[in-house]
Amino acid sequence: MAQTLFLLPGDGIGTEIMAEVEKLIAWTNAQGLTDFSTDRGLVGGCAYDAYGEAISEDDMAKALAADAVIFGAVGGPKWDKVPYEKRPEAGLLRLRKDLQLFANLRPAICYPALADASALKREIVEGLDILIVRELTGGVYFGEPKEITDLGNGQKRAVDTQVYETYEIDRICRVAFDLARTRGKKVHSADKKNVMKSGVLWDEVAHAVAADYADVKFEHILADNCAMQLVRNPKQFDVIVTDNLFGDILSDAAAMLTGSLGMLPSASLGAPDKATGKRKALYEPVHGSAPDIAGKGIANPIAMLASFARALRYSFGMVELANRLEAAIAGVLGEGLRTGDIAQDNRKTIGTEEMGAAILRKLAA
Ligand code: IPM
Ligand code: MG
């Protein structure tokens, strides 16, 4: 039986980069390497324009039923004034929450061919391979109350609530330690236990989990220091586990170390189903919808294609095909092919479709 992919290209460059994934799927299906059936939905500003919501109930149901969701990007200045609950980002947040995708894996890998595209010196980033494990369904993103109240005296009061329970910290830390075992065997847990009660609990639970993983080195780090260390000496890190908000910020910093936000994939995973062992999953590039370059055909499709490679690996166990796809990406970069965001030495750059086609050619070779 065909495996189902639900494609949500979203806004801005989302549609352009998703088109390259669709070409890839058409090819792997035609080769008999996969048997994917795909459906497409709307999320973000385009969904608001069509339905008045950041994602429709119908598309939510399809996302819940699919074997994996492949997500592009959402948002843009066009929707700056839509009501808060209907803003493009609300579609993504609802997907994360309703699919219970609590574990967000954000690798920051420096492709050797790109070490000079980083704002940091080559020796600081060359060979970099960090994994940020971000908690994705809790914390200040979803805590209640979350409101602005009018105090009636010309003042307003805004509240967001940072809240974590033991089980939420425990399960994300276990994901981080399990993954650390498959790589550098080191976990840093980042929080602000020096000012936040949620940080105190976070650290307590992280230490308790660490005790179950004697083979993995564990260190606590304050989140602000973590940000500083990421730009000072990023290669000291292997896996960093942190909450939703710190993870949002630290992963942007880590991503930029690698030369381009346009390169990095991410996977958001739920807990394995008790009966089938299957996880709900959504794969998306770390970068956003880049409205400034949308529609020009110049966006870098690599993060999107690399996100699809993660889907092959984590959701479908197609490790060999995932490796081949990642090798094809590294291969075209090694040959010097560049989109504008990773351009070097005034060399000629290529567009989204050319980059997608070059990767597909490499894969087929
Ligand atoms: C991310 C993004 C989202 C977040 C936005 C689009 C809601 O910045 O995935 O990092 O804050 O989580
Ligand atoms: Mg972010």
Please report the domains of the chain, with CATH numbers, ordered by start residue: 1-102+270-365 (3.40.718.10), 108-260 (3.40.718.10)
- Which residues carry out catalysis? 141, 192, 224, 248, 252
Residue 242: which of 107, 144, 136 has the closest Cα?
Answer: 136
Q: Does the Cβ of 92 fall within 6 Å of ligand 1?
A: yes
Q: Which residue has the CA at smallest separation from atom 8 of ligand 1? A: 248
Q: Which residue has the CA at smallest separation from atom 1 of ligand 1? A: 248
User: Hey, is 37 helix, strand or coil?
Assistant: strand
- Give the 3-state secondary structure of 158-195: EEEECCCCHHHHHHHHHHHHHHHHCCCCEEEEEECCCC
Phi/psi of residue 143, each to 5°? -60, 145
> What crossing angle do the helices spanning 302-314 and 14-30 adopt, rounded to 10°?
50
Ligand whose nearest atom lies closest to the CA of 43: 1
* Residue 21 in tokens: 């994934």
CA 231 to centroid of ligand 2, rounded, Å: 17
Residue 118's pLDDT is: 86
User: Which residues are paired to 232 by β-bridges?
Assistant: none
Q: Ligand 1, closest atom to CA 74?
A: 6
32 CB-contact burial (10 Å; exposed 0-12 / middle 13-18 / buried 19+): exposed
* Residue 266 in tokens: 């991410």
Residue 223: which of 261, 187, 194, 180 has the closest Cα?
Answer: 194
CA 297 to centroid of ligand 1, rounded, Å: 24
CA 88 to centroid of ligand 2, rounded, Å: 14
291 prior amide bond cis, ω within 30 = no
* Residue 52 in tokens: 């008045």
First to last CA, the chain: 28
Q: Residue 154 — left, alpha, or beta (φ > 0 → left; ψ -120 to 50 → alpha)?
A: left
**From the first residue on, what is the mean pLDDT of each consecutive set of 10 residues in the chain (365 residues)?**
94 98 98 98 98 98 97 97 96 97 95 84 93 98 98 98 98 97 97 98 98 98 98 97 97 86 90 91 95 96 97 94 96 92 83 98 96
CA 274 to centroid of ligand 2, rounded, Å: 31
User: Which residues are paired to 5 by β-bridges?
Assistant: 38, 68
* Residue 162 in tokens: 């940072």
Q: Does the Cβ of 89 fall within 6 Å of ligand 1?
A: yes
- CB burial of 143-163 (b: ≥16 within 10 Å; e: otherwise) equals beeeeeeeeeeeeeeeeeebe
Phi/psi of residue 166, each to 5°? -50, -50
Query: Is 336:347 a contact under the CB 8 Å cutoff?
Result: yes
CA atoms 58, 64, 68, 72: torsion sign: positive
Best mutation site among 8, 13, 79, 89 for ligand 1 pocket (most ligand atoms within 8 Å of CB): 89
Q: Which residue has the CA at smallest separation from atom 10 of ligand 1? A: 248
Residue 262's pLDDT is: 79
Residue 344's pLDDT is: 75
Q: Which residue has the CA at smallest separation from atom 5 of ligand 1? A: 89
Residue 116's pLDDT is: 84
Please tell me the distance from the alpha carbon of residue 177 to that of residue 213, in angstroms, as a whole number.
Answer: 7
Query: Is 306:283 a contact under the CB 8 Å cutoff?
Result: no
CA 252 to centroid of ligand 2, rounded, Å: 6
DSSP 120: S
Phi/psi of residue 102, each to 5°? -80, -15
Q: Percent helix, strand, coil in the chain (nearest 5)? A: 45, 20, 35
Ligand whose nearest atom lies closest to the CA of 106: 1
